[in-house]
Amino acid sequence: MASKNPLLSDFTTPNNAPPFDQIKEEHYLPAVRAGIEEARANIEKIKSSPENPTFENTVAALELASEKLGMTSGIFYNQLSAAGTDPLEALAQDIGPLSSNFSSDVIMDQDLFKRVKAVYDQRMKLNLTAEQATVLDDCYKGFVRGGALLDEKGKQRLREINEQLSVLGPEFAKNTKKSSEAFTLVIENKDDLKGLPETAITAAAEEAEERDLKGKWVFTLDYPSYGPFITYADNRALREQMWRAFASRAYKDEYDNCANILKIVTLKNERAQILGYKNHAEFVLEQRMSKTPENVMAFLKKLLATYKPSAEKDLADLKEFAKGLGFTDDLKPWDVGYYSEKMKEKLFAFSSEDLRPYFPLEPVLKGTFEHFSKLFGIVFTPAKYPVWHEDVTAYDVTDKKTGEFVGILYADFYPRKGKKPGAWMTSYREQGMFTDGMKRPFVSIVCNFTKPTKDAPSLLTHDEVLTLFHEMGHAMHMMLSNVTYSSHAGTAVLWDFVELPSQVQENWAYEKETLDLFARHYKTGEAIPAELIQKVIDARNFFVGWTGLRQANLGLLDMAWHTADPGTISDVAAFEDQAIRESTLFPRYAGPTSTSFTHIFGGGYSAGYYSYKWAEVLDADTFELFLEKGLYDADTAQRYKNEILAKGGSEHPSILYKNFRGRDADPDALLRREGLLKAKG
């Protein structure tokens, strides 16, 4: 007898958390189909209502129409990223088109659109709240941008494009992941490990054991393995091998993404033109703070003009430094991490590895929770909820003063087969109104940190601590949301505003007051020495030109793909080489970045990668206020919580930011922080 489908029943777990222990792969497709059926019935009720269209009976009703489908799809796609088994990958090829076609049916339904338009046309007389006005505006524009005003031929073609894109994005991400997993560097000679920190050697030995290669060492392209190797391994030939493999993911192998890229950009360009836009970037940026491709390009070119001379100096200094160590060859990309780490050690008298013993994951996580507790008055308590893997831990988040339930936080920290690389925040339920009342969110942070070994806990690098603070910043945006309509909760903001709450948190991880909450040696319990913290602060802007140029380079590459005429592109690598010729200091020695650029081809950042640097301006300006008032100043933190985090996408970000800061962001704040502009005063 087939097992009962938990996705089709009300969840009976505490707080109605998803019953991951009961959900099986075969449950998703029937649940998606049932969710679509239920949503269609709900939409039919809205359309056939004898009442005149109102905000409540049309727009608010639409918000709730696809509740079950949204919940099932959310769980499915989150699991596809966190636990992407082959059966889940196969299911994505079925679920994507099903969901896409349903969305097209809704957005292209003339009768439904008529009701939405009737409400929109009388919006000035409706006495709506600011949030309702935003929801209505976004709802109407969603229909128009989804093709509601097109003729039947245009609608049909748009439907076909959306269906194809729903499959191509997950396919691109799968290829990147599979290509990465297909490579291993197996080392048999201990001499080849010279220069590597003990933590990396131990992890590689344990990886070898897991693969039945006892007595050898296995390195992979997972960043906790790849990063230390490319930074510390003395063996230059092996560094080159690792670098080339990483740089060539999903290029000229069985998982090659070139054809996928050309299909994706062609379809997105065609969609934009059908809808009356010049290109995909123009279509996307209409719904961003930046507004137009011209504004984004001006921003990126300003960054390029600032960072490139600084990066050229960084590289020249590095070449001189390497020469002083007896390096006589031409410096190549696989040498940059290695020699820049040695140069940093010489300049600032510490190594990145010196920090690792002070950052064992468990105490760091506890201290991170304490940091957010001090800022926002919340408490994190370990809780027993069903989880999707034994590595995942769950926490109840409650209000410190009232004890009220704020939400559930899931934490999934270690790499494993099938899991997407990188780090991200996602939600299994957004905060807001549901059919049976207001609900609090279920939020997950997913990372790929250094795994524990038999002899040591998971010891983080400072970069990994920054990643934790970053993803927890996103999580707080979701967790502390306090809106009515879940479609506008938390991170549902204009895309170039979404990185402010995450990136601003990284600033605290450089401050002694914050590091003292958790940075203790995992063996001795000794607090991290003040002079080591100072060295980290002193080194913060080391190679800032180089890293800034890298971000500008990726932003320019993204914009090139989404403003060019795809009909003129036949060779992915040649197109990339041309697009980034002004923003790179090396020729291309391996595959193009594009074939593994999942942010723009397998995620939501197409024509939006610039937003990382855009939001850095906001985060630098925000943190200047905390530096001025106090890192944990209660009034500033409360205002930031109420005006930015709680509001989600209920109002335009420029309004939210001005309400918080009392003015627009100072565009020079970022360059001041990076030491490329003198401080004020």
What's the rounded Cα separation, in Å, for the pair 369 and 360? 14
- Cβ-contact 107, 148 below 8 angstroms: yes
Q: Which of 334, 430, 319 lies closest to 74 in space, CA to CA? A: 430
User: Cβ(371)–Cβ(468) under 8 Å?
Assistant: no
- Cα separation, 459 vs 465, in Å, equals 10
Residue matched to tokens 């599979």: 178
| Bridge partner residues of 379 (DSSP) | 398
Measured distance CA(262)–CA(176) in Å, rounded: 16
Position 539: which residue type?
A: A
Query: Which amino acid type is present at position 96?
Result: G
Measure the CA–CA gap between 280 and 274, rounded to whole angstroms. 11
- Tokens 């106090």 -> residue: 630
- The residues carrying an active-site annotation are 471
Q: Cβ atoms within 10 A of the Cβ of 414, count?
A: 18
At 188, which amino acid appears?
E
Give the Å distances, CA to CA, from 77 to 71, 93, 374, 422, 427. 10, 12, 33, 16, 11
What is the C-alpha separation between 429 and 406, in angstroms, rounded? 12
Give the tokens for residue 557: 């590459």
Alpha helices in 48-151 (DSSP H): 61-65, 67-82, 86-107, 110-121, 130-145
Q: Kindly state the tokens that stand for 653.
A: 């970000």
Give the residue from 231, 234, 223 showing the smallest Cα distance to 187: 234
Q: Which amino acid does the sequence have at 358?
A: Y
- Answer yes or no: are the C-beta atoms of 256 and 595 closer than 8 Å: yes
Long-range own/partner contacts, residues 579-582 (CB < 8 A, 24 or more apart): 580/553, 580/556, 582/304, 582/308, 582/556
